[in-house]
Structure 1
């Protein structure tokens, strides 16, 4: 979905940069999001917050479990 209409920046582009560890200010500088009319700033910040908080920690904890030899689906039958 296009978040910034002025610069034609999608939520996927913003999320990709956020998952790489960039904060909103860095993403704004790199992509130009929320630098024209500014109406997309709230949505862009939401995308960054969702990716910075949830995505990396989930991947790290799964990777730690796999490194220790634990199965990722320990559902009882």
Structure 2
């Protein structure tokens, strides 16, 4: 599912970012661009990041 439509970031992109060492929202935003356009996806992206981090 798309988390950030503006930058076309999906849950899978976030999962891959976590696997490659991303562990906070700023780093996720820098790497994927999530939340950097309109910002409406910020809360969903943070939630997805937490879920992925817990499942690692």
1:48 maps to: 49
Q: Any gaps of 5 or more consecutive residues in structure 1?
A: 56-77
2:6 maps to: 6
Distance 2:19 2:44 in 1: 16
Distance 1:25 1:2 in 2: 19
2:26 maps to: 25
Displacement of 1:19: 2.7
User: With CA pairs under 8 Å and 6+ residues apart, which has the higher RCO, 1 or 2?
Assistant: 2
Distance 2:21 2:48 in 1: 13
Per-residue CA deviations over 1:30-62 (Å, capped at 9, x if unaligned) read 11100011000011001110111222xxxxxxx
Q: Is the 8 A contact 1:21 1:52 kept in 2?
A: no
Q: Given the two structures, how large is their TM-score scaled by the length of structure 2?
A: 0.86
Q: Any gaps of 5 or more consecutive residues in structure 2?
A: none
1:70 maps to: none
